[in-house]
Amino acid sequence: MIRFVPFDNLPLHSIAVCHPAIGPLAVVLDSRDAVVRVEWEMAPDVASVSDNAISWELARLFKGEDADIVVSPRGVTDMQLSVLRAIACLPFGSVSSYSALAETAGFPHAVRAVATAVGRNPIPVVLPCHRVLPVAAAGLWQRSPLKLFEKPSLLGHYTPDDALKSRLLQYEFNLKKP
């Protein structure tokens, strides 16, 4: 379960975690161990993968298991927070379209604004914005997900690397298969 707490101007520290599909990530936490942001580039002071309660919970989350994660997104608007809450509800190994996410977040007529909020997610992978796809790709995922992996350009943009979105989705798809 992902729980949201208000952002407080608390001291921050980074830990290193390793995602099975994409490798090491720097996870920035506040003093409550709430995830504030995820950074793709490892800072020099985050040398090795951390071994503590939050890193174990993140490892569980990355394997599609139930995990207790607290997040505190920094610098987001109320609309962005609504979108991030909707993203947090997307089940492991599934996808949603931007338009369906806009509906869920309460902004059915603001699909572009919702897509912008998805693109500005400060806590990617933990808040799985990689599971949000253009409507045609989301439909193809329901019929034949393997075809999407042959054409990753259909998946939409993903910061910092479009191929990363495909790798994350493939990882979840393969792990979720019976």
Contact 61, 126 (CB under 8 A): yes
Neighbours of 110 (CB within 10 A): 15
Is 129 noted as a catalytic residue in this protein? Answer: yes
* Cβ contacts of 114 within 8 Å, gap of 6 or more: 83, 98, 101, 102, 105, 107
Catalytic: which of 114, 129, 137, 148?
129
Separation CA 37–CA 105 (nearest Å): 21
Separation CA 10–CA 30 (nearest Å): 6
Contact 164, 22 (CB under 8 A): yes
H helix or E strand, kind and range, residue 61? helix 53-62
Separation CA 90–CA 60 (nearest Å): 16
**141: three-class secondary structure by DSSP:** helix
Catalytic residue IDs: 129
